[in-house]
Amino acid sequence: AIFAELGFNIDLIYTHKKQTHYPTMKGLDYAIIQGIRDVPDNNTVNDVSRQLECPVLPSLRYTVNVTPMVGEDWRPVTFDKLAEASKGIEYIGVLRMDVDDLGNLFGAGFKKPNGESRASLARVASLSNALSLYFEGWVGEICRDINKKYDPKKEEGAVYAVYSGGDDLFIVGSWDVLPNVAKRIRDDLAEFACQNSDVHISAGIILQNPKYPLYLAADDAEGMLKRAKGLEGKNAICFLGQPVKWSQWDQVIAFKDELINLVTQEAISRSLIWLFSHFYQQYQATVENYKQTNKANQSQLFWGPWMWRSAYQLRRFADRINNEELKQRVLTLSEKLRPNPAEKQTLALNIELMGVAARWAEALTRKKDEEK
């Protein structure tokens, strides 16, 4: 009614059972027909123009409304099926992402080096429209690309794009695909912004049983997103409870891939993954002890029993490997945990990244029947 008072008429054009239903309004000066995702084809435009007896202008309105469908009757994939399609543990994941410091981007992003503002209505509107185009348009295409590969028999998962718009998004899917989705969204945004270092995004991912209430999972993922943004400079991802800067994420992926590659060899057991997870837990215990007992002496943050235990246990593990090449690969990983007084920060970073990688590899390589 409000739009009618302003001289506008709005109606929906939709297809049901291969029959197209058109609006019946008359007496219009012109009409605009907006397609969802795709520009309306010429036949549709011409049909609407004849029906309304006025010129019709086709346009496009992006919306992120991605639902994985399956079967001849084209039914939505359930959360249980998404979990079953995951590699390793049968969980779903929830991904929340949000552009960092968007207020500063609008407030200070148009200033000259001398501090003079170049902001204008046109520039602010252009930036806002560009972000909307990315989140409402391109994010949906990323999700559709993932869903094209959906195949439960091959453990190829899928995602629901619950929401994406403005500067944030909310995606649910097979847990194992979400780290890759988050990285692609982050990388594509950087390319979209011409690698502008002031434009970056943080992410939080949680894993949950498919029966877990979605609204609680959304809150949990928001908590992980806040932990990622808690790192200095933000621009991070929080996965499996550990916040990591995006600049270090490729190292986590490399560690994870190396662990999985090693334990798939006949000569090496999955206990190698368990060892790195255990070392990380011991490191975390050392950190907590430092926080509670001696905040002044920061050297205790890095030095603890986990260091010599990791060196000893990894050496023993390597000595039991008959294949010399595989033995050296295990020892190479062990070297990254060797104490070096001059590189305490690097050592702490390595164990934190390896901890995430080990838990990731453990979740991916766990057999389905181990959960039952």
Residue 323: closest CA among 334, 311, 331: 331
**325 C-beta neighbours (distance < 10 Å), count:** 9
Residue 266: closest CA among 316, 347, 328, 322: 322
Name the band, by pLDDT with cuts 50, 70 and 90, for residue 340. Answer: low
69-239 belongs to CATH 3.30.70.270:
yes
Residue 37: closest CA among 146, 152, 143: 143
Summarised one tens digit per residue, pLDDT across range 210-255 is 999 999 999 999 999 999 999 999 999 999 999 999 999 999 999 9
The domain segmentation of the chain, as residue ranges, is 2-61, 69-239, 253-371
Residue 33: closest CA among 17, 25, 24, 44: 44
Q: Are 159 and 178 within 8 A, CB to CB?
A: yes
Q: Is 268 helix (H, G, I), strand (E, B) or coil?
A: coil
Summarised one tens digit per residue, pLDDT across range 63-121 is 788 999 988 888 999 999 999 999 999 999 999 999 999 988 887 777 777 777 777 88
Distance CA 170, CA 125 (A): 24
First and final C-alpha spacing in the chain: 57
Name the band, by pLDDT with cuts 50, 70 and 90, for residue 370. Answer: low
Average the pLDDT over 43-56 and give the result.
87
What is the total residue count of the chain? 372
Name the band, by pLDDT with cuts 50, 70 and 90, for residue 22. Answer: low
Q: What sign results for the dihedral spanned by CA atoms 151, 143, 95, 80?
A: negative
Residue 200: closest CA among 146, 164, 245, 162: 245
* pTM recorded for the entire structure: 0.85
Distance CA 222, CA 104 (A): 21
Residues 68-86 as b/e (b if ≥16 CB within 10 A, e otherwise) read: bebeeeeeebebebbbbbb
Q: Are 243 and 233 within 8 A, CB to CB?
A: no
Answer yes or no: is pLDDT of 369 > 80. no
Name the band, by pLDDT with cuts 50, 70 and 90, for residue 20. Answer: low
Between 29-38, 56-65, 338-347, the lowest mean confidence (pLDDT) is in 338-347
